[in-house]
Amino acid sequence: MLSAYGTANDCLTECPPSAGPGIPPDSVWVDLVEPTAQEEALVESSLGIDIPTREELAEIEASSRLYQEDGAAFMTANLIRRGEHDEPESSPVTFIIKDNTLITIRYHHPQAFPAYVKRAMKPQATAMNGWGILISLLEAVVDRAADHLERAGQIVDETSKKTFGAKRALSGIHKPAPRRTVNLQELIENIGEEGDFISKMRESLVSIGRMVTFMQAISDQMRETKFVKENKARMKILQRDIISLTDHASFLSGKIAFLLDAVLGLISIEQNGIIKIFSVAAVVFLPPTLVASIYGMNFAFMPELQWPLGYPLALLLMVFSAILPFLYFKRKGWL
């Protein structure tokens, strides 16, 4: 799908379809969403550039995603979105600047794009040219990334509370904490999902940061004008925002790693507790088993077999021999 946008009174408006072949001449932004071969050929013939295909975007190396060719700047960054079932989806998006026109090529639907279009329909204080729209679009992407990280941080905090116990109900006195009923396997799954999302988000922020650095290098080669100075200032702020978000993502990544170790430790503790119960049970029932096995031997001369009280005495001996190690373990604090 091809969408062309122009400017009117310092705000973004969707350009009407042109009468002849090509894109409208007053377009400042051409958004290609899952473009067909005909749409790619239309833009290429109108702007005189070679648009990379989806296969080329998938095969292109990360070190070769920023280059200049045919008087245009080609920049590719990985953008992330929450897809179905809240799963993270990362896909490359290409930004092309040719003269005063911005071309975006994407094969998924980051939420930042429609959010920016809705906001850009209102009067803007910034320059509504190709570079200005590109910076504004990246600002929207970074804002969306900040929202994603904030939500991931909340999920990590909730997982941390579940991991380290339920909140105690206070009514004047401290009550004992309730028995743990949290599904540790579910916690591991949640931690793994957020860890995967944070990893993709860091990769996205790094690619956007490299792209902004490339944009700054291009702007340094431009003739100094009011709009160029304004764009440089905005790119510096954008770069600082990306660095701060990358640091926050690293912090969340470390917290997720700590939670994963904590959950694995809790699983190990529960397993040790189960093994301890079986071990104590085996030791407790060992003396009664020994007494029963002694009096179960088929020897001809066993005086106790002729005692009238032999059977109840044997039962009492087995009970006593079971209680004695239990009390010993209890005194030692092993139970």
Contact 23, 43 (CB under 8 A): yes
At residue 83, φ and ψ (nearest 5 deg) are -90, -150
DSSP 15: P
pLDDT at residue 232 tops 50: yes
53-63 residue pLDDT tens = 777 776 666 66
36-91: per-residue pLDDT in tens?
888 888 887 877 888 877 777 766 666 678 888 878 888 888 888 776 666 777 88
* pLDDT top residue among 65 and 25: 65
pTM: 0.74
- Give the pLDDT band of residue 175 (cuts 50, 70, 90): very low
* Average of per-residue pLDDT values in the chain: 79
In angstroms, the CA 127 to CA 132 distance is 5
Work out the average pLDDT over 174-189. Answer: 62
- Please state the rounded mean pLDDT for residues 109-137: 80
Task: Average the pLDDT over each of 94-103, 173-182, 282-291 and give the range with the smallest value.
Answer: 173-182
Alpha-carbon distance 314 to 317, whole Å?
5
Report the pLDDT value the prediction gives residue 234, as an integer from 0 to 100.
Answer: 87
106-142 as b/e: b if 16+ CB within 10 A? bebebebbeebbeebeeebebbbbbbbbbbbbbbbbb
Alpha-helical runs (H) found in 30-111:
37-47, 54-59
pLDDT tens readout for residues 150-173: 988 888 888 888 777 644 433 344
Q: Which amino acid is at 229?
A: K
SS3 33: strand
